[in-house]
Chain A
C-alpha cells in the first residue's frame, strides 16, 4: 500500500538561517512565499501598479540585507510588510522630488462580468484613494488587519506599538473609510 507523500515545508525561520549561511535557494523560496501578499500590501498602500514589481524587489533586498535585525518578534511576513511600508515611503519621497505623479490606478484588467467588476473596481479605487489620505500608521494597521488578516498582537509587534493602540488605529481608519465607502 502506497504511503501518502509527505511534503515537508521548511518554516521561514529555517530558510532565514539557510540564507544567512549563504543558501540563495532559501532566499528565492522566501520570495516565492511572500511576494504576492507583499505586492497586495504595497498596491493597497498606494504603490502605482507599474512600480509594484520594483518595490517588491527592493523590499526583499532590504529585508535580506538586514535580516540579522529580525528577532522573531513577529512573523517574517509581517516584518517584511513593515519594510515594504518604509520602501514605499522612500519611493513616495523620491517621486515627489522628481514631481512624478503616480499613474491612474483605475487602469486594471478584469475577467468576468464587466458591470459587476466596474462597480467593484470603482469602490476599490475609491477605497485606495481614501487609504492614501489616512495617516500612515492608520493605513498600515488597516491593511495588515483587513487585507492581510493579522491579529492585533502581531500588528503591534511589527509596528512597535501596543495591541490596544493598534486596535484604536484600526477603528479610526474604519470610521473614516466607512464615511466615504458607503
Chain B
C-alpha cells in the first residue's frame, strides 16, 4: 500500500468509532424535541435584544450630550481637551496648526493671560518656535 492509499485508508477509518457509538434514533428524537421546544426562539430573542442594544445606545449618547451641556465651563466650539492633546505633540505641528491651537486658547482665556512675546501684537506674526513657546507657557 503506497502513501496515498494508506492515507485514504486511514482517513476512511477516522471517526468510525465515534459514529458507531452514536445512538442515531435517540439523536433524532432529541433533535426533533429541541426543534419542537424552541421553534422560533432565536428569531424572537434576537429582535428584542437588538432593540435593547439600540435603546441603550440612544440613552448613553443622549445622556452624554446632556451631561456635556450641563457641565460648568462648557463653551461651544472650544475643546480644552483637544488643546491638551495637541500640546503633547507640539513639535509635530506646523505653524498654521499651532496658530489654530493658539486661537482656541485665545478664545478660552479671552486674551487675558496669553504670554505673547515682547514686540509682537498679532499671533500671525510669530514663527513656529515662538508659537511653541507661547503654547508651552499656557500648558503650565
Contact = CB atoms under 8 A, between A and B. Distances in A.
Nearest to B38: A61
Nearest to A55: B18
Nearest to A179: B3
B19 A39 contact: yes
Chain B interface, >50% SS class: helix
A36 B28 contact: no
A35 B27 contact: yes
B77 interface: no
B36 A174 contact: no
Interface stretch (A89-97, A122-130, A156-164): A122-130
Contacts of A49: 17-18, 21
A116 B23 CA distance: 27
A57 B11 contact: no
B32 A27 contact: yes
Contact of B34 (A47, A61, A108, A146): A61
Contact of B13 (A57, A124, A174): A124
B35 interface: yes
B18 A57 contact: no
Contacts of B19: 36-37, 39-40, 43
Q: Which of B6, B13, B17, B18 has the most CB of A within 10 A?
A: B18
Nearest to A30: B28
A29 B20 CA distance: 18
Given A36-B24, A56-B22, A28 B31 contact: yes
A52 interface: yes
B24 A146 contact: no
A88 to B, nearest CB: 12
Contacts of B13: 120, 124
B39 to A, nearest CB: 9
B22 to A, nearest CB: 5
Interface string A37-81: 101111110010100110011001100110000000000000000
19 contacts: A27-B32, A28-B31, A31-B24, A31-B31, A37-B19, A39-B19, A40-B18, A40-B19, A41-B15, A47-B18, A56-B22, A65-B35, A65-B42, A110-B17, A124-B13, A143-B11, A147-B14, A174-B7, A177-B7
A24 B27 CA distance: 13
Which 8 pairs, one residue from A and one from B, show the smallest C-beta to C-beta distance? A43-B15, A40-B15, A43-B18, A146-B11, A31-B28, A44-B14, A28-B28, A39-B19
A142 B15 CA distance: 14
A127 B14 contact: yes
